[in-house]
Structure 1
């Protein structure tokens, strides 16, 4: 199950009842916006204990439409790469720390 922004905000408001929901929403929007802007600039985003977001450049290539078999030019594009931290890896795999 994926977590959506509204569920994240609900969990934050449940865990931190002293904060107003609109403040938590602003805080979340600022953090996500800064991550987006940093990736757009080509910077690396490191969240200690969680992981690292970075961008990779996928080269332009000639691909094939699987339905028709027709050759299609695919332009160069940026993709997001995520590498989880060792702490997160251990938590996901129930290893003792």
Structure 2
């Protein structure tokens, strides 16, 4: 099951009923945008107790279209790598 922003906001609203939903939405948007901007710059983002996001560069290569068998040039691109924190790993595996 994936979590979407609206479900996250609903859960935060239940946990913090004294905050307005629009304020919670703004906080979540700011945090997500800062993570995106840091990854765009090539920085590493570490959320203590949760995990670490970083970018890897996938080299340009010649790949193959599986439907036609034709060779296709694939340009260099950035990918996101996530490494789970030990605390999160232990919570997932010990509970």
TM-score by length of 2: 0.98
Write out per-residue CA displacement over residues 30-53 of structure 1, whole angstroms, 9 at most, x where no aligned residue: 000000000000000000000000
Aligned mates of 2:73, 2:80 — CA distance in 1: 21
Figure out how many residues of one structure are paired with residues of the other and give that number. 95
Matching residue of 1:91: 91
Write out per-residue CA displacement over residues 35-85 of structure 1, whole angstroms, 9 at most, x where no aligned residue: 000000000000000000000000000000111111000000000000000
Aligned mates of 2:94, 2:88 — CA distance in 1: 10
Secondary structure class of the residue paired with 1:10? helix
Aligned mates of 2:21, 2:56 — CA distance in 1: 35
Matching residue of 2:9: 9
4+ residue runs over 3 A deviation: none
Unpaired runs of at least 5, structure 1 = none
Matching residue of 1:67: 67
Alpha-carbon distance, 1:22 to partner: 0.4
Alpha-carbon distance, 1:90 to partner: 0.8
TM-score by length of 1: 0.96
The CA RMSD measured in Å over matched residues stands at 0.8
Unpaired runs of at least 5, structure 2 = none
